[in-house]
Structure formats: C-alpha cells, structure tokens
Structure 1
C-alpha cells in the first residue's frame, strides 16, 4: 500500500532529524530494518520488550480480546481481563498490596501515585491537607509529564519547562556508591548518613508538610542503574514512618522481573506504601502501567468512605490488560525471572571482565538484566567528559551502524544532571548465554572504536591525550 501524506510527518524529539532505522519486524531479541540491518536489541527498547518481539502466546491473547471487546468506558463498565490482571498483580505481592490501578504509561502511573498519596492524607479521620510536599532524589527520572517532572532531576528534559512545573518537591542524595560513598566509609555508615540527610530534609520542610519520599528502587535511565546498598530502603522508610509520611517506590523501569525478582523491593526488606510499574508489565504488546496500593492504605481509604478523584479514558484498557496479563503469565510459566537472575549475573561478570580495565570506563553496575556502563575522563577523579563531545550519543549512533548493529540505551547526566555519559544494557528476559556473549563483544567494539576515533580528532582529542 502506498504511504499517504508527506514523509517525516511524525514529530519525534527533533523538528528536523528523525530516527534513522525504519523497523519492518521483530523476531526474538532482534529487529529487522528496511535497509537490511539486523539489530540486536540489547535494551529491550527502553527496558520494555522483556519477552522479545514475536511472542505468539501474547499475540493470540490480544487477538482474542480484540475480537471480543476492544474498549469499554472504565467509569461505566468492567472488563474481566482488567480485573484478572489487577488480581494477578495483587497476588504477586502476597497480598501486601491490595489494589491496582491500571494506567497507560509510566508517567501517568507516577502522576496517579502522587495524587493518591495526597488523597490519603486528605481522607484521614483527622485530615492533613497541608501535606503537599514530596522529597525525591538527585539524578532521578520519574517521567515526562509536569507532575512527574516535579519529582525528577534529569536537567536537560526539565529545564525548558521550569516555569510550568509545580515547586512542590525537593531532593536528597541518591544511594549511589560510585559517586556517593566516601573513601573509607562503610556501607552501614553511608546508609546512616543518607538517613540523616533525609531526616534533615523533613525538618527543613516541616514534617507535617511532607507527603511522601519518592525513589526508584533501582535507578533508571538518568542515574544509570544506581543500585541501593543493603539496609538503605528500610532506613529511608523508618524516617518516613517517624514523621508519618509515605514511601513511594517507582519501579516503572526496574520492576516486573527486570532486576531478578518480580518486584525490585522484594530484595530490599521493605514494602512500599505505593508502587508504580510499567514497561515490562506489558512488554510493549500494549501501552500499560499500574499503581499498586498497600493494603494498609486501602483500609484507610475504605474507612473514609470517600472516592479517589481521578479518571482517564484509557484506564484499564481491555487490549492492554489482555497483553499484560498474558505477558505476566508467560513470564511465570517459563520461569523467566529465574533466567533474568542467572543471565543477569553472567552479563555483569562478562561486562566487568571485558571492560573494567578500559581507561575510560569508570563504573559497571546493575542487577538482574539491568546494567549500566559509565564513562569518565579519569578513573581517579571520576571527571566526566564534556557534554559538547556528545559521547553517549556517539556510541548509540555507532552501535546502530552496519557492522555493529546493537541498540544501546544512551543517556547523560550521571555527574550533575547535565554532564556524565553512560548507557544501559537491559536485554529481554529470554536472552541466552550465547546472546549475552554476543552483546558484550558488540558493546566492547562500539566502545573501543568510538574512543579510537575520538583520539584522532582535534581539538577534541585534548580530552583523551595523556589519559592512557
């Protein structure tokens, strides 16, 4: 069929340039492009396509749902498949979370979580309407909508809209051992220091004004898989409990099996009051996210007898719910979370073995199939490359070229919200050991060839000369 309308009518991030690859179809963890490339998707898109691109079981489930019921208004009717998905999610927490709200995107889920937290305090028997402030963390990314940008700290995406963003959030340090742990400091002392910092922030804002502390359980795209140390989240929750505030964990990117357990908080000896999930929930077969609500909060909402003033057209969408439910069933039936743990450990070992000695690789960190490689000019000072070099974009572009053909999730800002280059490696849960080996070799060639090229450039080679 002939295409209709002018070419490049779809607006991406840039008004002039567009993604270079036109994808024809996906098979397993590979994407076939119109110009003949077979790209190994080492990022699952954006940590989304956890089952790869052609799972027949999920395709059949969506087709059946499309035939039976494509849409019904969530305020007027129930779709059984949405009820079933919500039940699956609640059951997956062993009842610690007792309600699920089905949304469309991760940003939407974060918005809902914020509104839900505010509603909780407004509906108490002794209402606390002054609790409107949220404490988040430096280097966080919680989504692109205005409310989510309030919590986030990805400066390049936030700065253009500062005049529109509500000033209802402040930040404390993230738990990031690479840049946060002091020389000679134990992890236990580090946790105590971060807990005190959070406590001090409560005191600064006014404990009665803080609604919740919000954090990614494992850092996402902006922080490059910053992984919490043992005891960190229990300590943070204890501070929240001390002042009667809530703990909201954002697992849009790191949840639903990505880090080796279905919920990332299962590895942290803590249960959130509110949790967001997305991306791997539907594996890209449907646009869906969810907010899970702790049973204690649900009991409080019930006791108030009041409603949650929220609603969206595509909440609990039947097609998306059908896709997500079958995705989660397949993950469970094929024991893929165990494969995430096994292959994730192998991926981490291979990345470290192959790349740790590289002069410009500062850190390799992650958990499960969720890893990041961060680059620095100097390993000792951990100085980042100048943003003008566009290092992370160069690596992504090289990876997409013929002869490399590997997708890397590139990002910046790990140093101060602007500077700092890294990329994520987060392949689908179905990845094999041989494919992990292939990923590591392709990643290594991208890194080595990018820096070899930069050394030859002038005057930018000044950043590299003499560092070896």
Structure 2
C-alpha cells in the first residue's frame, strides 16, 4: 500500500474509519473498534450523538461562517453564555477558538497583555511543570515540560521554567500527603524567588495530567497551596483543562474538585466531543476589566475563532453534558472502570500504578513492581500495546516517556461517557490481553 499523503501519518497502514456507532468506530472492512480512549480524550459522547449532529446541520442551514472582525453570531453568544453559567467562580468571559493549542497560546498572550495593561511590564516569565503537555504550537510547547516533545524544537522555544509535578507514585517517597504537598509548594516558592517574584507572569498546570503522564491526579490540597503562592506574588494561575475538563474527571471543570478557581482556564477536546474542532479560553472579570478599561481589546485573533458551526456543536455538547446529566454519570462509570481494571490488572507483575479520576484513567507499566523500574525505552512497549489493542478491536492511548520524557510507559483510558457496564468489562478484558501480548513479544 502506498504511503499516506497526509504529512505526519506515515505509511498508510492505518485502517480507514468510515462510520461510528455509540462507543464504536467501524473501518472500511466492517471491523468494529471499541473507543476506549475517546481518540485522544475527545469523544465524550461517542460517535453518533443525534442531538449534536442535528445542531450542526441546523446551523449550516442558517450561516456557516461570519468573520468575528465584522459579526458575532447567536451560536457563539449562546455557547459563551452556557460556559459562563457553568464556569468556576470569577470566570466571566469566553474567547472561543478552534483547539487546545490555540487556547493555550491565547492564554499566554493574554497573561502578558494583562500585565502591560496594569503597568507591570517586567512580568514575562512562565513557570510550568515537568511532564506536562500544553500543546504543539511553539508557545504552548515551550510551556510544556515533556523533554521528548520539546527536544527537536528547543532552539525555537521561548524560555520557560519548570518545577516538579505532583507525582505520588514515583516522587512522594515516605512523605505523608501533607508533607509531600508542602515540599512541592516550597519548590514553587523557591523557583519564584530564584526568578524574582515580580517578574513571573503565570504558573501553568493541568489539574489532572493527561498525555504525558497518564491521568496523574494531584493530592488533596496541592492546588490550594499553589493558588495561595500565586496570589501572594501576584502571579496568574492558568489551568489547562483541554484534556481533563468538560466532565472527563467527574465535574464539568476538573479544578472544581480541588477547590480552586483559576484566573484563566483553557478547554477543548471534550467541548466539541469530536463533532467539530473547537476550544476556548475563559478568563476572570479582573483580567477582562483591565483590558476593557485600558487598550480596549485583546491583541490576538484567528480566522476561524468563534466559528458558528463549531460553536453550535459546542453548545449542543454542553447541553448533553449538563442538561441531560451525562457528567453526573461519569463518577459512577469511572468507579466501575476502576474496579474492572483493578480486578484484572491490580496484581499484574508489570502494572505499577492504576490512577485517575472519573472516566480518565491511567495505567503505568513497569519492568519490576517492587523497584518501579521502567522498561527499556528502546523496547517501545507502549507502541506494542497500542498495536496489540487495535488487533483486539480496542482503541487506547499509550505513550512513552512517562517518568522523565524518555523512560516509562503508560496507557491512558478516556472512554465516552455513554459507555455501558458490558463495554467497560470488554474494554478491561481486551486491554489485559493486549498488555500480555505486548509483553510476550
């Protein structure tokens, strides 16, 4: 078969998706795949949601595109209103975009403009965490702390500074939860002091780390401590909920579970549920007011931001998540998934940790459970698991470099919120077989 014409896809050995049915994707040969990861934690409603499809069709019959330099649209305004209605306290404005990387880029630029508006031009430094991922565009990639993703493009990246993630499985040691949280808070305080607190613009973090660390959830009190340090030094807290937000961890915004509200929050993926490319940056009234009373506008923009079709899809997704109660089901189904994974893999000799929240779960694979030694990265175990899972008719999202960007393998699971108990059992069974097949290779 000829190489793919799509740059970055490699040789055309991938099956061709032709249709979707609930939690399943069907290829051109009629083979069905259970979507255990929602693609990349995107398809929270599955692949055949009638309400969202109808909303996109209806919007197409009205108006497909109107540039935001000239018009607003009912679709964009209604989406913004719905988001603000459900947003964390203090968040009062929405800037709709077309994806997660765009949203993070906008957040970083907004943070910089805010400090210019309030006459603090010395603030331009960004602090984030190791083993984080915030997008593939250059600003977002610079904020991200994954070594492998940064390596090729390092000469192009603006300087950002990184501190340790909250990674209990590998880095807590003998500390109590409280002591470990304090150690991480002290590290951030030290970093701010090293840089000069009045030069730091923003601290950026995923509430639950997704692609680079496999559903790595913080300990209780971690983000409250981070929020206090940011407030003490006048640093903006930017939370990246592109992957973990929109109900994925059991509440519409993941930060709700940590008792904090950000200054800026980014969302995408689940907002469009795969039916349209959409993301958004949400911001506090304080930031909006500084710009509104200052220069008068955010110096930023994209051709397709606020696109009516995407906004209509996003609004319909929110109606399903919030009004139809699908987010309310996530914790129960997530507990059911965790039970199934623990029953099959909890004592597996090469499963070191099973973690996460809601329907956002990660499995860290290790060569030795007792020492937590990762597999040799040359083995590319995560790629072998993905291949074996596809052969089983299961889509999952494995990745390497879990520990430090080079070593470590994990599997990320993020199935649609409509997944049934029988499908959860099927997911766990197929994944277990895929792991064993990969280990035996």
Question: Could you tell me how far apart the structure 2 residues matched to 1:208 and 1:93 are?
Answer: 29
Contact 2:386-2:395 within 8 A present in 1 as well: yes
Give the Å deviation of 1:432.
1.1
Contact 2:239-2:266 within 8 A present in 1 as well: yes
Question: Could you tell me how far apart the structure 2 residues matched to 1:339 and 1:94 are?
Answer: 20
CA RMSD of aligned residues (A): 1.2
2:159 counterpart of 1:163:
no
Question: Could you tell me how far apart the structure 2 residues matched to 1:334 and 1:19 are?
Answer: 39
Could you tell me which of 313, 317, 321 is aligned with 2:303?
313
Counterparts in 2 of 1:270-285, with a 5 A limit? 270-285=260-275
2:179 counterpart of 1:181:
no
Could you tell me which of 275, 283, 286 is aligned with 1:293?
283
What corresponds to 1:264 in structure 2?
Answer: 254
Any idea what the Cα deviations from partners look like across 1:57-87, whole Å, max 9, x if unmatched? Answer: 1111101111110000111101110010011
Could you tell me which of 136, 141, 145 is aligned with 1:144?
136
Could you tell me which of 61, 68, 90 is aligned with 1:67?
61
Contact 1:340-1:368 within 8 A present in 2 as well: yes
TM-score normalized with structure 1 length = 0.92
Give the Å deviation of 1:246.
0.6
What corresponds to 2:356 in structure 1?
Answer: 366
Question: Could you tell me how far apart the structure 1 residues matched to 2:199 and 2:137 are?
Answer: 23
What corresponds to 2:113 in structure 1?
Answer: 119
Q: Structure 1: 5+ residue runs without aligned partners?
A: 1-5, 455-468
Could you tell me which of 409, 419, 428 is aligned with 2:407?
419
Give the Å deviation of 1:94.
6.2
Give the Å deviation of 1:311.
1.0
The 1:393–1:94 alpha-carbon spacing in structure 2 relative to 1, beyond 3 Å, is closer
Counterparts in 2 of 1:67-466, with a 5 A limit? 67-93=61-87, 96-124=90-118, 127-167=119-159, 169-183=160-174, 185-401=175-391, 404-451=392-439, 453-454=440-441
SS of equivalent to 1:12: coil
Give the Å deviation of 1:334.
2.3
What corresponds to 2:37 in structure 1?
Answer: 43
Question: Could you tell me how far apart the structure 1 residues matched to 2:323 and 2:155 are?
Answer: 48
Contact 1:123-1:306 within 8 A present in 2 as well: no
Question: Could you tell me how far apart the structure 1 residues matched to 2:166 and 2:311 are?
Answer: 34
Larger Rg over CA atoms: 1
Give the Å deviation of 1:435.
1.0
SS of equivalent to 1:119: helix
Contact 1:95-1:295 within 8 A present in 2 as well: no
Any idea what the Cα deviations from partners look like across 1:216-243, whole Å, max 9, x if unmatched? Answer: 0100110111101110001001111111
Contact 1:371-1:426 within 8 A present in 2 as well: yes
SS of equivalent to 1:252: coil
Question: Could you tell me how far apart the structure 2 residues matched to 1:114 and 1:271 are?
Answer: 17
Contact 1:216-1:249 within 8 A present in 2 as well: yes
Question: Could you tell me how far apart the structure 1 residues matched to 2:56 and 2:217 are?
Answer: 35
Contact 1:12-1:18 within 8 A present in 2 as well: no
Question: Could you tell me how far apart the structure 2 residues matched to 1:155 and 1:198 are?
Answer: 20
Give the Å deviation of 1:305.
4.7
Question: Could you tell me how far apart the structure 2 residues matched to 1:109 and 1:442 are?
Answer: 35
Runs of 4+ displaced beyond 3 Å:
none
SS of equivalent to 2:205: strand
Contact 2:203-2:236 within 8 A present in 1 as well: yes
Question: Could you tell me how far apart the structure 2 residues matched to 1:88 and 1:107 are?
Answer: 22
Q: Structure 2: 5+ residue runs without aligned partners?
A: none
Contact 2:89-2:261 within 8 A present in 1 as well: no
